[in-house]
Amino acid sequence: NELGLDHNETRSWHDWHRHVSLVMLAFALLAAIRHRANALPCSKKQTQPLVPVQS
């Protein structure tokens, strides 16, 4: 996948555990960033027009 979970070339249990832990940490960080980005209000809806509309 994109985070490298399938790029495991370790020889010991400790190395494998370290690799998987770092991949899961990266996944959690990216999930938190995506959640915050989706939680922000859309800026297009809140902006005022540059030129006032005259009626």
Q: What is the tens place of the pLDDT at every residue in 18-52?
A: 888 998 999 999 999 999 888 877 655 555 656 66
What span, in angstroms and rounded, lies between the C-alpha atoms of 40 and 43?
Answer: 8
Q: What is the pLDDT of residue 10?
A: 76
Residue 26: which of 42, 7, 11, 9 has the closest Cα?
7
Q: What is the pLDDT of residue 47?
A: 56
* Count of CA atoms in the C-beta half-sphere (13 A) of 9: 2
Q: Is the pLDDT of residue 1 over 80?
A: no
> What is the pLDDT confidence band of residue 4, given thresholds at 50, 70 and 90?
confident
